[in-house]
Amino acid sequence: MLTRALFHIRPLIIGLLMLSLSPVTSLAQTGPRATEFTLPNGLHIVVVPDNRAPVVTHMVWYRVGAADEPPGTSGIAHFLEHLMFKATEKIGTGEFSKIVSRLGGQDNAFTAQDITAYFQRVSKDRLPKVMEMEADRMVNLKLDEKEVLTERDVILEERRSRVENNPSAILDEQLGAALYLAHPYRIPVIGWEHEMAKLSRADAMAFYKRFYAPNNAILVVTGDVTPEEVRKLAEATYGKIPRNPNVKTVERPAEPPHRAARRIELKDPRAGRRTWHRQYIAPSYTTAAPGEAEALDLLLKILASGPTSRVYRKLVVEEKVASSAGGWYSGSGRDSGKIAFFSVPNDGVEFSKIEQLIDGVIAEVAAKGVTQEELERAKKAYLAEYIYQTDNQASLARRYGWALTVGSTVKDIEEWPERLSQVTADQVKAAVRHLDILRSVTGTLLPEAPDQPPGSRS
C-alpha cells in the first residue's frame, strides 16, 4: 500500500499553460459541481458526476492518520491500512482486492499524517458491490494473530526498502523529526522501526474500533453516477452501520515557540550526490488567514518551481553553482503546512554558498516583491493544473476527499480558482514572512562514511 500522498498532484501540460486567466477562473462561477449530504449515522457523502464514461471512482476517507497514533505505537495507522485487506466474516483473507480485480476494477489505499483512504475504480454497474464490501470492512474486520505478525514483517520490510536503504529518505525523516518540537507531525507516517516491531493485533484492533466508523468518515464518489443513485446505494450499505458515539477528534500537542533554527548533517556513503535541504513550518489551507495559503502557493511557484523560478535561475543558470535547485509548498495539513527548498551543488561548491544565494533570493522578494508578470504566469500555471486534475476522476476524488477530511468545505474547494486569481503581488510579498529561519531546519547529505556507525556510542 502507499504510505504517503500529496494534496497537490501537479503534472503540467504545456498547452494548458497558455490559457488566459479569465476562462479558467470562470470555473468557480458556474455553480457547485459537487453534491453533498450526510446519512443519519454521520457518514458525510460527496458526489461529483462525470458522465463521459460508464466508470466510477469510490473513495472512503477516515479522519485519522499517523498524527493521531497513541504514544509508542508509531506506524499503527499505516499498519491497519494493510490489515484492512485481510478478512471479515463475509470476505476471506486477501480476497478483497482479488474480488475487485475480478470485477474488472482497481483498488488501493494510502495513509498520511491526517488521513487514511481506501479507493476502488470500477465500471458503474460494479459500484453496489464495492460499496457493500467497503461498508463491511468499516466495522467487521477480522484479524488472525498469525496473519498480523506476518503483515508486520511486511511493513518492516517496506520501511527497510523505502527508508533504511535510501539516504535521502533517512534525511527527510530526520528533518521532519527536527522541524517539529512537539507536534506529532515529527513522527514518520511509516513509524519508527523499534516501535513498529512491537505492534500487535491488540494495537490494531484498538485503533480500528476507536477511529473506523461512519461518523468519522467521508465517502467521495466521482464518475458516471447521480447523487440520487449514490444516496440510495449508501443507505442500503453504509446506512446500516450505527454511529460510534466514542469517536472524537484527537487533541494533538501544539508547537511551542521556536527559539533556534535547527541543523542536521547526514553522512552516508550510499548517497550519490551532496544535497542541501531546508524546511519551514508554515500555515496550511486549513489554518491560514483568508488568501494566505493561496499567496504561499504562488510565492513558492515564483521562487522555486521549475527552470523559470528565481532560485533555479540564480543557482543553476546565472551563478552555475548547482545542477538542480527548487522547492515547494504543501498546504494540505490539518494543523500546519510546510515549505521546502533543495539544491544539488556542483563539485567544489560549499553548502554555505548555496545557502547564501537562496537566502538572498528570499531577501530580495521580501524587500522588492514579485513582478506582475511573474504573478500572472504562476496563476496560469496553477489554474491550468486545476483544469487538468478536473479532467481525471481519481484526481477529483482526491481533491475533495483530502480537503474535506482536514477541515475544508466543498465551497472552499470549488472557489479555489477564484481565490487564487484574486491574490495580489502585495499579498505574495507579505507571505515571505513565513520563511522564518527560527521555524526551520536545514539539512545536508554527504556521500561519506559517518563519523560513527548508527547505534554506536562515543
- Share the mean pLDDT of the chain: 92
pLDDT in tens, 411-443: 999 999 999 999 999 999 999 999 999 999 999
pLDDT in the model for residue 279: 98
pLDDT in the model for residue 31: 58
Domain ranges of the chain: 32-240, 262-446
Residue 215 contacts residue 247 (beta carbons within 8 Å): yes
Q: Which CATH class is domain 32-240?
A: alpha beta
In the set 69, 81, 374, 414, the catalytic residue is: 81
Beta bridge partners of 131: none
Residues 301-324 have a mean pLDDT of 98
187 has pLDDT over 60: yes
333 has pLDDT over 60: yes
How far, in Å, are 60, 167, 251, 388, 391 from residue 223 at the CA level? 15, 40, 36, 16, 11
Task: Mark whether 81 is an active-site residue.
Answer: yes
pLDDT in the model for residue 419: 97
pLDDT in the model for residue 456: 55
pLDDT in the model for residue 455: 59
Specify the higher pLDDT residue, 8 or 242.
242
pLDDT in the model for residue 418: 96
pLDDT in the model for residue 367: 98
pLDDT in the model for residue 249: 85
129 has pLDDT over 70: yes
Select 262-446's CATH number: 3.30.540.10, 1.10.3720.10, 3.30.830.10, 3.40.50.261.
3.30.830.10
pLDDT in the model for residue 40: 98
If pLDDT is split at 50, 70 and 90, which confidence band does 6 have? very low
pLDDT in tens, 334-390: 999 999 999 999 999 999 999 999 999 999 999 999 999 999 999 999 999 999 888
Percent of the chain's residues with pLDDT above 70: 92
16-20, 42-46, 240-244: least confidently modelled range:
16-20
pLDDT in tens, 205-251: 999 999 999 999 999 999 999 999 999 999 999 999 999 999 988 89
If pLDDT is split at 50, 70 and 90, which confidence band does 451 have? confident
pLDDT in tens, 60-79: 999 999 999 999 999 999 99
Percent of the chain's residues with pLDDT above 90: 89
| Model confidence, pTM | 0.91
C-alpha cell at 200: 500487535
318 has pLDDT over 90: yes
Strand 217-223 to 44-49 pairing: parallel
Q: Do domains 32-240 and 262-446 have the same CATH topology?
A: yes
11 has pLDDT over 50: no
Instruction: Output phi, psi for 46, to 5 deg.
Output: -125, 130
* Among candidate residues 453, 419, 91, the one with its CA nearest the CA of residue 285: 419
7 has pLDDT over 60: no
Residue 211 contacts residue 62 (beta carbons within 8 Å): yes
pLDDT in the model for residue 106: 96
